[in-house]
Every structure is written in C-alpha cells, then in structure tokens.
Chains A and B, each alone.
Chain A
Amino acid sequence: MSTPDRRSLPLFAILGVVVVLAVVWVGVKFQRPSTPEAWAEPGVPAAVEGRTVTHAQGTTVVPLNPRRVIVFDLVALDILQALEVDVLGVAGDQFPDHLAKYRDAKYARMGTLFEPDYEAIHAVRPDLIITGGRSSAKYANLSRLAPTVDLPMSGKDYLATVVANTELLAGIFGKEAKARTLVEELRKSIATLKGTTAGRGRGLVVLVTGGRMSAYGPGSRFGVIHDDFGVPVAAEGLSASLHGEVIGAEFIREKNPDWLFVIDRDAAMGQQEGGARQVLGNELVHQTSAWQKGQVVYLDPGTSYLVGGGIQSVKHMRDQVAAAYAQAR
C-alpha cells in the first residue's frame, strides 16, 4: 500500500467529522442526570456486625439494617418496593409503570443492568449491592466493591423462586412480617386463579420482537402461566431456552390454542406498541380458537418481560390473566 491519495483526505475528513458529531450529539442528548446531592453525603461507616446471607452465588456477610442499597435488578426493585424498603441507586433507564418512581433523578444511576458504572458505585460507598437476572454475570466484579447478594431467577419453580427471593430480601431488611402477608396474599390469589384455568382450554405463550415470533413452554421464563397459573399446555415439548423457540403462524394454527398469551418485547423496550398485534393479526392465527373466542391476552410487556419474578409483577400478571378469564366467561 502506498500513501493515501491527496484527494481522499477531504472524504475521510468529512466522514470523521460526521462520526464525531453523531457521537457528541448522542452523548449530550442522553447524558444521565448526575445527582451530586445523593453522592455528597458520606457513607455510613461499614457496620461491623452483620448477618450471613446465603444466595444464588454463595454466602455474603451483610451489615445489619443496610441503608445505602444499590439495586441492579428490576425483580429485586419490585420486591423491595413491595416491602417498603428504599434504595439509593438503581441501574438502567427502563422502568415499567409500577416502578415508575425510580425514573426520578433522586435515585442515582449506577450504569446499566449489563454494564455497571463501577466508579459511581465506588463513590457512593454502598452497604449492599443486589444483582440478579440480567446483572448476575457482574456479581463477581460488584462483590469486590461492597457486600453483594445475587437473586436467582429461573423459570423452574417460578412461584417458589419469587417467594424465596422475597423472603431473602425481607430477612436482610427485617421485614419478615410484611413478606409473610405479601406471600400469603399472592399464594391465595394464584390458587383461586388455578381453580378457574384448568378446565378452560389450552394456552400458548408467544413473544414477539422485531417482527418474529417465538414460543415458550413450562419451565421457561414465562412458564409461570402453565406451572403456577395452571393453564394447560397447547404445545408440548417446548424447551425452556432463554429466547424460546422460533415459530411461524402455521405453528400457532396447528397447535390451535384456546388462549394466546402475547408478550410484545419491543413495547417493553419503549418502542411503539402494536407490533405484536400486527404480526399476530394474520389469516392463520385468525383461525385459532383463541382468536375466534377473543381469548388473546396481551400481557403487560413491562411487568411480564422486564420484571418477570417480582412479587408485584407476578401479582399483576395474575390479575391480568384472571381478568381475561373472568371476561371470557
């Protein structure tokens, strides 16, 4: 290769300027509001006393009554809100409606669920960090900064996991009584729902994103619908993989479910709603009994997709499904 031609310089110069401007524009537009007042307060010196908590990635000594809590998991945030525990910092900028208060700038931003802002975390000197789900992979790094507990989330034993996570967090913050009430309420309401779903036909869970569909079965991240809500399975043998199984409209018609539970992932991520309706509204799906009986349930994308496993979001999902069954009666 010889040296670049002189004529090529303007082209590259213009390209470079365009790229730099684009990056600067995005940087300015999406700069997160910093909250110096939240950070300025010096941290409470680490408590000497603590209790040992066993969680998904080992055991951690957590100081008694942690006050400076950073949460890297929407499920944990959902549970903490239900337990009436306040937090110092949160991650990301996607919060479903029932967690809307965390959009407020008074909650310090600690990076995203996938990329923690380690410097910001270090600066606020937290008593406790909570990871789980999307941030579980960052547990090792975060646990070096402060005591960290990781909440497990898997589709297996869905309800049991929700209860275990609630009890784990309740134990840390001394909210056992509150947790008992919440869990009891949830169990009771789910048992009621289970009584109605069994004889009302088979269901299929479909997630729609980018114009493509995938199906989920029992034991998957949306398995709660079959496993705990008791909706009979329309398609046997669906594996429990994270992203489901790619399907087409033919598959839905062939399985002919009586109930379709739809998760519009793009809507969960802040895009315009209605993409899922467009994809599903086709001639083959129109022939299923779910469509003909008007038994297509568009689950609240925020709670079902973003916060699958939070005690409030499970309750919300239950209520939505129960309402659909009551309406169809």
Chain B
Amino acid sequence: MKRLLVAAAVLAVLAGISLLIGASHVSWAALFSPGPDDRALQVLVISRVPRLFAIMLAGTSLGVAGLLMQMIARNRFVEPTTAGTAESASLGLLAATLLAPGLPVLGKMLVATLFALAGTAMFLLVLRRIPMRSALIVPVVGLILGGIIDSATTFFAYRFDLLQSVNAWTTGDFSTVLRGRYELLWVTLGLTCGAYAAADRFTVAGMGETFTTNLGLNYPRIVALGLVIVSLVTAMIVVTVGMIPFLGLIVPNLVTRVLGDNARRSIPWVAVSGAGFVLLCDIVGRVVRHPYEIPGGTIAGVIGSVLFLYLLLRRDARVG
C-alpha cells in the first residue's frame, strides 16, 4: 500500500510536468499571479487539464483491459492490439465513417464496440479450436487475425482514399483533446472500476474453465463480462484518441511479474503504471519537437517495442 502511494506520487509529479508543457507558455507563476487576461489559466482549463485526464483515463483503462484479456485468454502476450480487438474497432470506425458519415461520436463508438466485440469473440473462438495451444501460438493467432482484419480496413480505406485519415485516427494522439472533446472517456473509468469490483472472478477465470466451474462460478458469464469491458474500452479509446500500442501488454506483464496473478492486488498497480506510461510517452512527444508534436502513440510504439523484445527474450520468461 505504501509503495502504491509512492507510485501515485511519481504519477502526480509527471502530471504536474504535463500541465506545464505545451505550445503555449504556462508557468506556475503566471497561474498564481492573475494578469490582465488569465490566458495561462484558460489554456490550463481548456486544454492541459482535459488532455491530462484523457491520457490518464486511456492509460489506466488500456492497462486493465490488457490484464483482463491476458486472464481470459490465459496468455501473457495478449492485449487489444495483439488479439484483433483494436483492429476490429478501427474497421468499425471506418464502416461508420463510410456508411453513416453524419453519425454522432456516440453512434460511432457503438459501431466500433460491436466490431470490437465480434473481433475479440472470434479470436477466442479460434483459440478454443486450436488444440495443444502453446504459449506463443496464442499471440501469433491474434496477430494473424488482427492482420486479416487490418487488411480489410486498408482495402476499403485505399478504395475510398481514406488511408491517411485512418492512419491519423488509429495513431494514439492527444493533440486535439480539449474541453468538450474527450468527456466520453470517463466511461472507461467506470469500466475499470467494474473490472476492479469483479477482480476476484477474473483471477479465478484465469485459472481455467474447469477450475472456475468447480468453484461454482459461471465461467462463460465472467468471460463475457471481460469481453464487454475490453471491447468498450478499446472502442472508446480508438474513437476518441486512437490506439496506444503495446501498453496493455507491457504494463500488466511487468506488474504481474512482481505481484503475481491476483487481479485485486495488481489492478491498482496496472492502473497507475498504465497512466504513467502514456503520460511519459505524451510528454516526450511534446518535448522532442516543441512546439510541434509527435503523437504519443508513436512514442509508445518505440518504447513499447523495446520493452516487448525484452519481455520476450529474457531468460526466465514465464509465458502461459
């Protein structure tokens, strides 16, 4: 508990830094000595604070979503971008854009969620039909499935000259987050809390269907609950800020490596570290080419791929 508080303090420091970095100049001094026009305060309220919230919400919920998927699929290399969930959500967003361009954001989210649910369910169905699944086959299946779905997205996007737009909206990027443009992400907080409330069930489900059923729990229902949470979170993040690769894989892995597989213990850590990871990536993206930006998702891809390789190659790899 004490260590968790320390981690939260580190996160708070990062958050403070994040509030002070951006294209316009905002300093603590300007905030506390109100000038003729409170420009600094306005920037803070309209742009910086919403951006910080969006980053934290995305990081937290994607981390927890990754953890849930790893428990449901009983494999450590599964997360929304390695199981077809994110790709399905993108395809759903593209379908909504093409077929119903006037749809409000909520409608687009709904379509993307349905696609994400279908994609993830398909992944689990395919997984069930693979005999003797070794630990590494599972993510490979997910990546192949994601690749197939992604190729469909690319095909339609190419056909309708939308490749560049698809690329823009699937790269996690917080540059356009402003007050009034991210608020739906708060729903992910509710979903994360829901996951925490059901944490023990997910821990049990992570031990297998037979074991879960023997404890008198309804395994399909737990899996369905997890699926819905993961798909909703993924779709919401894809629609509002784009996808952050590797996050749901690295953060839960590093946390469970230290804390073990008890979801009730690990979810708070996953939440804090997920938020910290995204925050760090976004700060780096804002600093490197100041006052322009590099999308946080791009930075996460670079850092994430290095960490992913480390997780794969380290000798005591506990997969499965």
**A residues neighboring B (CB under 8 Å):** 1-2, 4-5, 7-8, 11, 19, 22, 26, 30, 94, 209-213, 215, 245-251, 253-254, 265-266, 269-272, 279, 282-284, 287
The CA of A22 and the CA of B97, in the complex, are separated in Å by 18
CB of B293 closer than 8 Å to a CB of A: yes
What residues of chain A lie closer than 8 Å to B162, measured between beta carbons? 266, 269, 271
Q: How far is the CA of A211 from the CA of B239 in the complex (A)?
A: 10
Determine the distance from Cα of A212 to Cα of B166 in the docked complex, in whole angstroms. 11
Whether the pair B129, A284 counts as a contact (CB closer than 8 A) is no
Q: Are B101 and A249 in contact (CB under 8 A)?
A: no
The 7 A-B pairs with the shortest beta carbon distances in the complex, nearest first, are A210-B168, A210-B165, A251-B23, A8-B129, A245-B292, A248-B175, A254-B24
A and B contact pairs by CB, cutoff 8 A, 21 listed:
A7-B129, A8-B129, A11-B126, A26-B156, A30-B159, A209-B165, A210-B166, A210-B168, A211-B168, A211-B169, A245-B292, A248-B47, A251-B24, A266-B162, A269-B162, A270-B161, A271-B162, A272-B102, A282-B180, A282-B181, A283-B178
- B46 A283 Cβ-Cβ under 8 A: yes
Of the candidates A250, A254, A266, which one forms a contact with B165 in the assembled complex, judged by CB atoms under 8 Å apart?
A266
Q: Point out the residue from A1, A212, A272, A283 that lies within 8 Å of B132, measured CB to CB.
A: A1
Chain A nearest CB, measured from B148 CB (Å)? 8
Would you list which residues of chain B between 271 and 320 have a CB under 8 Å from chain A?
289, 291-295
Bound complex: CA A250 to CA B42 (Å): 11
Does A249 contact B126, Cβ atoms closer than 8 Å?
no
Chain B residues positioned under 8 Å from A282 (CB to CB) = 46, 178, 180-181
Q: Are A250 and B23 in contact (CB under 8 A)?
A: yes
**Proximity string of chain B (152-185) to chain A, C-beta cutoff 8 Å, 1 when within and 0 when not:** 1001100111101111110001011011110000
Interface size on B, residues (CB 8 A): 44
Q: Mark B74-107, 1 if CB is under 8 A from A, else 0.
A: 0000000000000000000000010001100000
Known A212-B175, A272-B102: A248·B159 in contact at CB below 8 Å: no
- Give chain B's interface residues, CB within 8 Å of chain A: 22-25, 42-43, 46-47, 97, 101-102, 125-126, 129-132, 137, 152, 155-156, 159-162, 164-169, 173, 175-176, 178-181, 289, 291-295
Partner of B168, one of A4, A209, A269, A271: A209
How distant is A192 from chain B, measured CB to nearest CB, in Å?
34
Residues from chain A with Cβ under 8 Å of B42 in the complex = 283-284, 287
Chain A hits for B132, CB < 8 A: 1-2
Closest chain B residue, CB of each to CB of A8: B129
Most buried by B among A211, A248, A249: A248
Judge whether B23 and A254 touch: CB under 8 Å. yes
Docked pose: A60 CA to B30 CA in angstroms: 64
Question: Which residues from chain B contact A272 at a C-beta distance below 8 Å?
Answer: 101-102
Q: A210-B166, A213-B176, A284-B43 are in contact. List 4 more A-B contacts (CB 8 A).
A: A11-B126, A210-B164, A250-B22, A271-B165
Whether the Cβ atoms of A251 and B291 lie closer than 8 Å is yes
Residues of B within 8 A of A22 (CB): 152
Q: Which residues of B contact A94 (CB under 8 A)?
A: 161
Q: Which residues of B contact A283 (CB under 8 A)?
A: 42, 46, 178-180
Question: Is B43 touching A2 in the complex (CB atoms < 8 A)?
Answer: no
- Knowing A4-B129, A8-B129, say if A249 contacts B178 (CB, 8 Å): yes
Q: How far is the CA of A329 from the CA of B156 in the complex (A)?
A: 45
Closest partner residue, chain B, to A15 (CB atom): B122
The residue in A26, A213, A251 that gathers the most chain B C-beta atoms within 10 A of its C-beta is A251
- What residues of A have a CB within 8 angstroms of the CB of B152 in the complex? 19, 22
Inside 8 A of A211's CB, which chain B residues have their CB?
Answer: 168-169, 176
Question: CA of A270 to CA of B180 in the docked complex: distance in angstroms?
Answer: 27
Contact A26 B161 (CB under 8 A): no
Most buried by B among A211, A213, A279, A284: A211
Closest chain A residue to B125 by CB distance? A11
> Measured between alpha carbons, how far is A272 from B129 in the docked complex, in Å?
43
B289 and A247 contacting across the interface, CB-CB below 8 Å: no
The minimal Cβ–Cβ distance linking B145 to chain A, given in whole angstroms, is 10
Whether the pair A247, B165 counts as a contact (CB closer than 8 A) is no
A253-B168 Cα distance, complex, nearest whole Å: 22
Give, as a whole number of angstroms, the nearest-CB distance from B141 to chain A: 11
Are A247's CB and B129's CB within 8 A?
Answer: no
In the complex formed, the residue of B with least CB distance to A254 is: B24
Residues of A within 8 Å of B137, CB to CB, are 1
